[in-house]
Amino acid sequence: MAGVSTQPDTQSRPFALSWRARLGWLVVLVYSIYAASQLGFSWTRFESGLELGARFLSRLFPPSLERLNILWQGIAESLEIAVLASTLGILLALPISLLGARNLMPAWATWPSRALVALCRALHPVIVAIIFVKAVGFGALAGVLALTVASIGFIGKLFTEAIEEISLKQVEAVRASGASFANVIIFAVMPQVFARFVGFSTYQLDSNLRNSTMVGIVGAGGIGGTLFSAFQRFDYDFVCTILLTIIAIIMLGELLARMVRAILLDNVSLGELLRRKPQTQFRAPAGEDL
């Protein structure tokens, strides 16, 4: 019929997949089944695991309130490791990310910077912690160095990608005024990426606080060593206390991150933030009733 389109109605099927995509998903499914068969998975093993897991959870409660001095010492050391590693990682990752941005720097500067970030991201923090434990000995110094390397790898990559996504119009305008390279970075680049930098930095602090538990297991300081010792002694009620404390600190860190973003990005003072009342998400315009 004239005037009738023979094109397929793609709007009625917004998630329609091509035959290549379907073939790709089929290959992934088949390989997943093959991998599960090669790794020794079985329903009997899963059922026994559920029983053992329930027995283990029953031994965690109630949490023990003894040896709180050991708990607080480990938590305080983990906080110190996380804060120091995050600070050093952010300070070192910022110039590295600027050198790695291909829209601002020549190729001879971007490739070494990107290679350094990739090297820092290549190894897990626990492996890096083992290397530093062998180098500088047991203690918090090895944990700080290991998490600093991890912070450079993570934040450096995200900072570089954020800088490469900026609008170059503002950069060209500042350059046209005769500004130096430092002024271009301060007045043209940083205002466009500052909000994302704050978000990345707060997330890295939260991540380092969690990773400080893992690196402590291999002797790099923090609460991880205390947690591993409690597991070895089958002191599961004390393990529960440590885990609950870590969870509480992570939740407090999330609230702190929100406060930092509100202060730095929304120009809200601490007093106003504490006095602020929760607001509804939808407010009717003046003169209109819902």
Ordered DSSP codes for 133-181 = HHHH-SSHHHHHHHHHHHHHHHHHHHHHHHHHTS-HHHHHHHHHTT--H
Summarised one tens digit per residue, pLDDT across range 251-289 is 887 787 777 777 766 666 666 666 665 554 444 444 444
Q: How far apart are the first and last CA of the chain?
A: 48
In a domain, 5, yes or no: no
In a domain, 154, yes or no: yes
In a domain, 24, yes or no: no
Q: Rounded to the nearest 5°, which phi and psi values hold at 127?
A: -65, -40
pLDDT at 276: 63
pLDDT at 21: 81
In a domain, 253, yes or no: yes
Write out the DSSP string of 73-139.
HHHHHHHHHHHHHHHHHHHHHHHHHHHH-TTTS-HHHHHHHHHHHHHHHHS-HHHHHHHHHHHH-SS
pLDDT at 282: 42
pLDDT at 149: 92
129/132 Cα distance (integer angstroms): 5
Task: Tell me: pLDDT of 223 over 50.
Answer: yes
pLDDT at 284: 47
Mean pLDDT of the chain: 80
In a domain, 30, yes or no: no
HSE of 90 in the Cβ direction (CA atoms, 13 Å)? 17
pLDDT at 178: 80
Task: Tell me: pLDDT of 6 over 70.
Answer: no
Instruction: Provide the 3-class DSSP secondary structure of residue 11.
Output: coil
Q: Which residues contact 124 (CB under 8 A, 6 or more apart)?
A: none
Q: Are 164 and 103 in contact (CB under 8 A)?
A: yes
In a domain, 171, yes or no: yes
220/81 Cα distance (integer angstroms): 10
pTM of the prediction? 0.75
In a domain, 275, yes or no: no
Task: Tell me: pLDDT of 11 over 80.
Answer: no
CATH number at residue 220: 1.10.3720.10
Range of the domain at 188: 68-268
Summarised one tens digit per residue, pLDDT across range 132-141 is 999 888 888 9
In a domain, 45, yes or no: no
103/98 Cα distance (integer angstroms): 10
Residue type, 248: A
Work out how many domains the chain is built from and give that number. 1
Residue type, 259: M
Token pair belonging to 27: 């290959």
DSSP type of residue 63: P
